[in-house]
Amino acid sequence: MNISVRADSSIYIGTGHIMRCLALSDALRSRGAKVDFITREEPGNLIETIKDYGFEVHALPGNIAVEEDAYLAYAYLKSLPYSTDHLIVDHYGLDIKWESPFRYIVKNIIVLDEPANRSHDCDILLDQQYITRKNRYQNLVPDNCVQLLGPEYAILRPEFFRARKNLQEKDGKVNRLLIFMGGVDSKNITTIVLKAIGKLNRSDIKTEVVLGEKNPSRNEIIKLAERTFNTTVHVNVKNMADLMSHCDLVIGAGGTNTWERCCLGLPSVVIATAANQIEVVNELSKEGYVVYAGFYENITEQSLLENICPLLENPDRVKELSIMVKELVDGAGADRVADKIFELNYLN
């Protein structure tokens, strides 16, 4: 089975699309599929990371129009010495106008989406978000499209499934605090969070700060951490699941890492770093799964402390959060999605 993935990463859109596509591609490759990537050379891209995972990459120029993007991707697939069985598209900037022409050269199209704000021409639609409106893709996808909705399909790297099996039971007391605002954090929310944590003046709490290698404020944050008691900065972490499993509370973004935290039963204070995260985080908050601190533009050091301090003083609530979120995600979502894709291949 031959599969191509169309996804991007940059300092503007972050790393989440590529990272979850890598996790899915690993699951597909383990079943015998050949997978390659089509991605733009935008600033902050992860082309070298994709290659490190062992996948071939066809690079498109950065800063091109959608029409040219489609033309170049189409030309690449046409040039291959084999036919493409599945095209996986994980991109909020692409829709039915981009997808439909590929019907002539691929057997099936799989779309990964969340905003549910545009039409798609696809055979499988995956939205791993926790949203109670199950009909949100009505009239946006073909009637025969298989819709995979909810966190049970959350695509995580295998390390999280393995770490989940080895978790130690915790009592809810916060001894280690994790700050992770995504692989890029172009808005530098990490600095605000770290300054707030510094004001806690808690010598009994160790703070772990995780930064992606593309973080544009990395040097500034490292210098701030050096002045903040009991704080360690980790850049381009290779053992993220292990690091997270040893923490007791996280202040994090509302993106892909949400489901990694859930898988490991890690309670979180969440900051929405993009508009498309607000609905999901609000729903999780209303159901009691997370503490929602608000949209990043409205976050202050004081508002963060007002959300963090009650948890530090209430171990029972922290433990309750841990139990609840762990039930949402079991870490096997990538396998479930890969199985559905293979089932689709056998049907055609």
Q: Is the pLDDT of residue 213 over 90?
A: no
What are the tens digits of pLDDT across the range 30-40? Answer: 999 999 999 99
Are 277 and 138 in a shared domain? no
Are 107 and 187 in a shared domain? no
35 phi, psi to nearest 5 deg: -125, 135
User: CA-CA distance, 7 to 185, in Å (whole number)?
Assistant: 19
With CA atoms as reference, report the closest residue to 258 among 274, 242, 269, 245.
269
Quick one: pLDDT at residue 347? 62
pLDDT band for 256, please (50, 70, 90 cuts). Answer: confident
Cα dihedral sign for 278, 281, 284, 288?
A: negative
Are 77 and 128 in a shared domain? yes
The percent of residues above 70 in pLDDT, for the chain, comes to: 99
User: CA-CA distance, 307 to 310, in Å (whole number)?
Assistant: 6
User: CA-CA distance, 282 to 284, in Å (whole number)?
Assistant: 5
Are 189 and 47 in a shared domain? no
**CATH of residue 280:** 3.40.50.2000
Q: Is the pLDDT of residue 183 over 90?
A: no
pLDDT band for 152, please (50, 70, 90 cuts). Answer: very high
What are the tens digits of pLDDT across the range 193-206? Answer: 999 999 998 989 99
Are 316 and 338 in a shared domain? no
Q: Is the pLDDT of residue 348 over 70?
A: no
Q: Which two tokens stand for residue 27?
A: 């699951």
What are the tens digits of pLDDT across the range 270-287? Answer: 999 989 899 999 999 999
The percent of residues above 90 in pLDDT, for the chain, comes to: 88
Quick one: pLDDT at residue 346? 66
Are 77 and 181 in a shared domain? no
Q: What is the mean pLDDT of residues 7-36?
A: 95
Q: What is the mean pLDDT of residues 130-152?
A: 92
Q: Which two tokens stand for residue 257?
A: 């890492």
DSSP state of 80: S
Number of domains composing the chain: 2
Q: Is the pLDDT of residue 309 over 90?
A: yes
Range of the domain at 217: 159-326
Are 163 and 254 in a shared domain? yes
Are 78 and 105 in a shared domain? yes
What are the tens digits of pLDDT across the range 118-133? Answer: 999 999 999 999 988 8
Are 164 and 276 in a shared domain? yes
Question: Higher model confidence: residue 345 or residue 98?
Answer: 98
**CATH of residue 70:** 3.40.50.11190
Are 175 and 318 in a shared domain? yes
CA atoms within 13 A on the CB side of 122: 29
CB 149 within 8 A of CB 127: yes
Are 6 and 148 in a shared domain? yes
Q: What is the mean pLDDT of residues 46-67?
A: 96
Are 216 and 240 in a shared domain? yes
